[in-house]
Amino acid sequence: MKNLSQEEWRRKLAADDNAFILDVRTQNEVDEGIIPDSHNIDIYEGQGFIDKVNELDKTKNYYVYCRSGNRSGQAAQLMDQLGFETTYNLMGGFMEWDGDVAYPED
């Protein structure tokens, strides 16, 4: 796992054709907005989170974020332990995100 600043995240993501953006926040947090093209798996699901993450392609580059950067750091470390090749944690999380924001459809 590597921690990325907001600027590093945007730069790497823009040049990455093997990227998967993973939002590990709760549904209530997701309802407040997401980074476009992200996929949500709530880390608070515990074993459910592990089961869902294990179904993902471990060869993709995972850009993981949460509200502040703490849960996503834990998720990225866990993913590393599960055999994922490349994980990045967004430092500062969605709270500090100043890029585009999308809103989930109802």
Q: What is the set of active-site residues?
A: 66
Phi, psi of 65 (to 5 degrees): -140, 160
84 burial via Cβ count (<10 Å: 0-12, 13-18, 19+): buried
d(CA 17, CA 27): 27
d(CA 24, CA 40): 6
